[in-house]
């Protein structure tokens, strides 16, 4: 079993996002983002992080 598969299985046991009703706040417990194909693009990595957060948190904009 590969490292990525092992980490994904471990993290699947936890909720990725928790909504705290009393303070109306979302808590992201972990974030899985694939690295850009060139492995160097900071802009590509930042875009990947923001896209994943947009996917996880409803009405974030």
Q: What is the pLDDT of residues 31-54, one digit of tens each?
A: 988 877 777 788 888 988 999 999
Residue 53 corresponds to which tokens in the numbers above? 């957060």
pLDDT of residue 31: 93
pLDDT in tens, 22-36: 999 999 999 988 877
pLDDT of residue 61: 53
Tally of domains in the chain:
1
Q: How far, in Å, CA of 51 to CA of 55, rounded?
A: 6
Residue 50 corresponds to which tokens in the numbers above? 């923001």
Average pLDDT over residues 53-60: 85
| In-domain check, residue 61 | no
CB under 8 Å to 57, separation ≥6 — which residues?
17, 26, 28
What domain range is 27 assigned to? 3-56
């Amino acid at each position: 079993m590969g490292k990525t598969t092992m980490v994904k299985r471990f993290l699947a046991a936890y909720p990725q996002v928790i909504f705290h009703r009393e303070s109306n706040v979302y808590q992201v417990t972990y974030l899985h983002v694939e690295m850009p194909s060139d492995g160097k693009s900071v802009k590509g990595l930042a875009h990947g992080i923001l896209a994943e957060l947009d996917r996880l948190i409803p009405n974030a904009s």
